[in-house]
Amino acid sequence: MDKDINIKVKVWRQNGPKEKGRFETYALKNISQGSSFLEMLDILNEQLINEGKIPVAFDHDCREGICGMCSLYINGHPHGPDGEITTCQLHMRSFNDGDTITIEPWRSAGFPIIKDLVVDRTAFEKIMQAGGYVSVNTGGIPDANAIPIPRDKAELAMDAAACIGCGACVAACKNGSAMLFVAAKVSQLALLPQGKPEAARRAKSMVAKMDELGFGNCTNTGACEVECPKNISISNIARLNREFLKAKFKD
C-alpha cells in the first residue's frame, strides 16, 4: 500500500548554457508514493512558485514512455533506478522516507544544457537528417505481403525501431557515445529491403555526423544497453560496424 513520504531533492540549477551551475536542495513533505516522479517535480515547482522562487525547468511531453523527452539522471542512473522505463514511468514508491534524491541533466558534449535539467537534444535530429530515412521512390503502397521479409529480420528491425531517441545511452556512456542510438536507427532500415538502396551512404553519413557533433567513441562497456529504457541490444552496434565497413570497402 502506498504511503506518504518526506524527502529531499538535490537538483541541478543552471540559468543558461553559459552560466555556472550548482546543486540546490529542497525539502518536500507528504509526497504520495503512488505519484510519478514528474508529478513530484510538479509539486516541487508549485512549492517554489508559492515561495516566490523560480521553478525548476525540466522536459516532458507524453508522460507515457514513448517520446523520450523526460530525460533525467537520477541517483546516478539515466531515468532512475528502475530498469526498462523512462523517467515519467518512474514512481515515488521506488524511494523511501527520508531519502535524498539527486537529479541532474544528461551530461554530454553533444547535449549542451539549456536551463536546469533541460538539454539540447537536437543533435539526434541532425544525425537522423544525415541519413536515418528512406528517400528512394517506392512507388504506390504495396500489399503487406508483397515484399517477403524473413520473420527474424522483421522482428529484429522492429526491436531496433523501438528506440525513442531519449539519449539515456549517451548519458550512461563514460565516453558520451551515441553509438547505440545510431546503431538502432541504421539497423531498423538495414534489416529491411526498403533500406538497402541507400545502406552504404546512410551508415557513412550518420556516423560522420555523430562524430562531427562531439559524441565520444564506443568502447563496448555495455552501460548503454543496461540503462536503455527500451532494452535496445548492443548487437545493433556490431551491425552498424559491419554496415560502415561494407560502405568503406565499396569506396
User: CATH number for the domain including 228?
Assistant: 1.10.1060.10
In this prediction, residues 177-186 reach a mean pLDDT of: 97
Q: Tell whether 94 and 132 lie within a shared domain.
A: no
pLDDT digits (tens, 9 = 90+) for 126-143: 999 999 998 876 667 777
Q: Tell whether 66 and 157 lie within a shared domain.
A: no
| Selected residue with higher pLDDT from 134 and 118 | 118
Question: Which residue shows C-alpha cell 556516423?
Answer: 207
| pLDDT value for 17 | 92
Share of the chain above pLDDT 90, in %: 88
Question: Which residue shows C-alpha cell 565520444?
Answer: 216
87 located within any domain: yes
9 located within any domain: yes
Q: Is pLDDT of 48 > 80?
A: yes
pLDDT digits (tens, 9 = 90+) for 83-112: 999 999 999 999 999 999 999 999 999 999
Q: How many other C-beta atoms can be found within 10 angstroms of the C-beta atom of residue 113?
A: 22
Question: Which residue shows C-alpha cell 549517451?
Answer: 170
Element containing residue 7 per DSSP (H, E):
strand 4-13
User: On the CB side of 206, how many CA atoms lie within 13 Å of its CA?
Assistant: 32
113 located within any domain: no
Last residue of a domain, one of 73, 104, 135: 104
Q: Is pLDDT of 49 > 70?
A: yes
In this prediction, residues 113-118 reach a mean pLDDT of: 97
Q: Tell whether 134 and 243 lie within a shared domain.
A: yes
Q: Tell whether 83 and 144 lie within a shared domain.
A: no
Domain count, the chain: 2
Q: Tell whether 164 and 89 lie within a shared domain.
A: no
Q: What is the mean pLDDT of the chain?
A: 94
Binned at pLDDT 50, 70 and 90, residue 9 comes out as very high
242 located within any domain: yes
246 located within any domain: yes
Partnered with residue 5 across adjacent β-strands are 31
CA distances from 238 to 2, 123, 157, 187 (A): 43, 22, 14, 10
Residue 68 near residue 166, CB atoms below 8 Å: yes
| Selected residue with higher pLDDT from 194 and 43 | 43
Last residue of a domain, one of 104, 137, 160: 104
Partnered with residue 102 across adjacent β-strands are 10
Question: Which residue shows C-alpha cell 556512456?
Answer: 173
Flag whether the pTM goes above 0.75: yes
Q: Tell whether 130 and 231 lie within a shared domain.
A: yes
Q: Tell whether 242 and 135 lie within a shared domain.
A: yes
- CA 27, CA 240: separation in Å to the nearest integer? 46
- CA 40, CA 32: separation in Å to the nearest integer? 9
- CA 69, CA 166: separation in Å to the nearest integer? 6
115 located within any domain: no
109 located within any domain: no
Binned at pLDDT 50, 70 and 90, residue 1 comes out as confident
- CA 199, CA 69: separation in Å to the nearest integer? 29
221 located within any domain: yes
pLDDT digits (tens, 9 = 90+) for 52-80: 999 999 999 999 999 999 999 999 999 99
Domain extent for 235: 121-250
| pLDDT value for 128 | 97
Residue 23, C-beta contacts closer than 8 angstroms, at least 6 positions apart: 10, 11, 12, 13, 102
Binned at pLDDT 50, 70 and 90, residue 144 comes out as low
Range in 28-42, 73-87, 126-140, 171-185 the model is least confident about: 126-140
Q: Tell whether 127 and 246 lie within a shared domain.
A: yes
- How many residues belong to the chain? 251
User: CATH number for the domain including 96?
Assistant: 3.10.20.30
Q: Tell whether 243 and 174 lie within a shared domain.
A: yes
pLDDT digits (tens, 9 = 90+) for 189-220: 999 988 988 999 999 999 999 999 999 999 99
Q: Tell whether 67 and 177 lie within a shared domain.
A: no
Q: Tell whether 63 and 129 lie within a shared domain.
A: no
Last residue of a domain, one of 78, 104, 130: 104
Q: Tell whether 24 and 64 lie within a shared domain.
A: yes
